[in-house]
A and B are shown apart, each in its own frame.
Chain A
Amino acid sequence: MDALALSKLGAALILPWLAGALCLQRWYPPHNPGRLPLILGYGFFVGMMLGMGLLRLGYAFDLPPFAFASSGLVLLCLAAGFHPLPDPPPARGAEQAARLTPSAKPKGLQAGKLLSILLLLLILLHLLPMLLEVLVRPIYPWDGWTTWVYRAKIWFLNGELTPFVAASQLAEQTDRLVYTIEAWDYPLFVSLVHLWPALALDRWSETLVNLPTWLAGSTIALGLYGQSRSAGLEPLPALLPPALFLTIPLAGAHMLLGGYADLWMSGFVGLGFSALLLGKNRRELLMGLVFLAAAVLVKKEGIAWLTLGLFFLIATQWPRSFAGLMLVVTTVLALTHSTSVELPYVGAIGYRLGQLLLGPLGSYPLHFENVFPAYLHAFFLHGSWNLFWLILAVAAATALTRLRDAEVRDTLLLFVSSGLLLFLIFFLSPESRWASDFTAINRLPLQIAPALLTGCALIWNSLTKEAR
Chain B
Amino acid sequence: MKGPWLRLVLSMALAGLLVAGWLYLRHIAPIAQSDMPPIHISPTQFQTLYGETRLEENGLVVRGCGQRQCLITVYPGALDTSTIRYLRYRLDADRPTEERARFFWRRDLETRIDTAEIDSSPIGILDLGRQDNWRGQVSELGFLFPRGTSQHWTLNDVSLQGPAPMLGTLALLGNWSGLELWSQRSVNQLFGSRGTDLPSLQQVVLLWIILSLTLLLLFSWANLEQPSTGALLTLLLAGWLLLDLRWLATLWRHAEITWNTFGNRQEEEKYRAAIEAEQFDLYQRVRQRLQAEQPAEILLPQEIPPEMAYFYAKAPYFLAPHRVLPLGKQYRRGYLIVLNGIPADYDPQHKSLRLGRFLLEGVEPVERHPAGTLYYITPQ
Contacts and interface: CB of A to CB of B under 8 A. Distances in A.
Contact of B255 (A122, A132, A146, A464): A132
Contact of B202 (A167, A250, A382, A391): A382
Interface string B184-211: 1111111111000000111101100110
Interface stretch (B86-94, B120-128, B229-237): B229-237
Contacts of B263: 136
B190 A250 contact: yes
A447 interface: no
Given A253-B187, A463-B229, A158 B244 contact: no
Given A126-B248, A133-B255, A249-B190, A387 B209 contact: yes
Interface in A339-357: none
Nearest to B227: A398
Nearest to A155: B321
Interface residues of A, number: 68
Interface in A213-255: 240, 244, 247, 249-250, 252-254
A381 B251 contact: no
Nearest to A203: B267
A341 to B, nearest CB: 38
B325 to A, nearest CB: 7
Interface in A256-292: 256-257, 260, 262
B326 interface: yes
Contacts of B255: 128-129, 132-133
Contact of A205 (B243, B248, B267, B274): B267
Contact of A387 (B206, B251, B262, B325): B206
B294 to A, nearest CB: 8
A141 B187 contact: yes
Contacts of A183: none
Contacts of B267: 138, 205-207
Nearest to B205: A387
A138 B274 contact: yes
Interface stretch (A5-13, A96-104, A321-329, A435-443): A435-443
B258 interface: yes
B96 interface: no
A383 B313 contact: no
Contacts of A378: 189
Contacts of B248: 122, 125-126, 247
B229 A150 contact: no
B44 to A, nearest CB: 40
A247 B317 CA distance: 31
B190 A383 contact: yes
Contact of A177 (B206, B295, B330): B295
B46 to A, nearest CB: 34
Nearest to A247: B244
Contacts of B191: 382-383
B209 A390 contact: yes
B247 interface: yes
B243 A138 contact: no
A207 B274 CA distance: 14
B186 A387 contact: no
A384 interface: yes
Interface in B228-279: 229, 232-233, 236-237, 239-240, 243-244, 246-248, 250-252, 254-255, 258-259, 262-263, 267, 270-271, 274
Nearest to B203: A381
B323 to A, nearest CB: 6
A380 to B, nearest CB: 6
Interface string A366-405: 0000000000001011111011001100100010000000
A249 B321 contact: no
Contacts of A441: 188-189
A170 interface: yes
Contacts of B236: 387, 390-391, 394
Interface residue tally on B, bucketed by range? 35 or more
B358 interface: no
A153 B317 contact: yes
A184 interface: no
A130 B271 CA distance: 20
Q: Most chain-B CB neighbours within 10 Å: which of A128, A205, A381?
A: A381
A439 B188 contact: yes
A139 B313 CA distance: 14
Contacts of A438: 185, 188-189
Contacts of B254: 129, 133
A128 B236 CA distance: 25
Contact of B321 (A154, A247, A398): A154
A466 to B, nearest CB: 11
Contact of A145 (B189, B201, B314): B314
B214 to A, nearest CB: 12
Most B C-beta atoms less than 10 A away, residue of A130, A138, A171, A207: A138
B196 to A, nearest CB: 13
Contacts of A139: 317
B307 to A, nearest CB: 16
Interface string A176-205: 010111000000000000000000000001
B259 to A, nearest CB: 6
Contact of A443 (B187, B233, B270, B295): B187
B182 interface: yes
B359 to A, nearest CB: 22
B13 interface: no
Contacts of B259: 132, 136
B165 interface: no
B232 A394 contact: yes
A129 B251 contact: yes
A245 B229 CA distance: 21
Contacts of B213: 394
B320 interface: yes
A125 B249 CA distance: 10
A157 interface: yes
B180 interface: yes
Contact of A386 (B186, B187, B247): B247
Contacts of B209: 387, 390
Contacts of A250: 187, 189-190
Nearest to A131: B255
A256 B193 CA distance: 19
A252 to B, nearest CB: 7
20 contacts: A122-B244, A129-B252, A132-B258, A133-B258, A136-B259, A137-B262, A145-B314, A146-B316, A162-B321, A170-B325, A247-B240, A249-B250, A253-B182, A383-B191, A383-B192, A386-B243, A387-B236, A390-B239, A438-B189, A460-B233
Interface of A: 122, 125-126, 128-130, 132-133, 136-143, 145-146, 149-150, 153-154, 157-158, 162, 167, 170-171, 177, 179-181, 205-207, 240, 244, 247, 249-250, 252-254, 256-257, 260, 262, 378, 380-384, 386-387, 390-391, 394, 398, 438-443, 460, 463-464
Given A244-B240, A257-B186, 16 more contacts: A122-B244, A125-B248, A129-B255, A136-B258, A136-B259, A136-B262, A138-B262, A249-B190, A257-B182, A378-B189, A381-B200, A382-B189, A394-B213, A442-B188, A443-B187, A464-B229
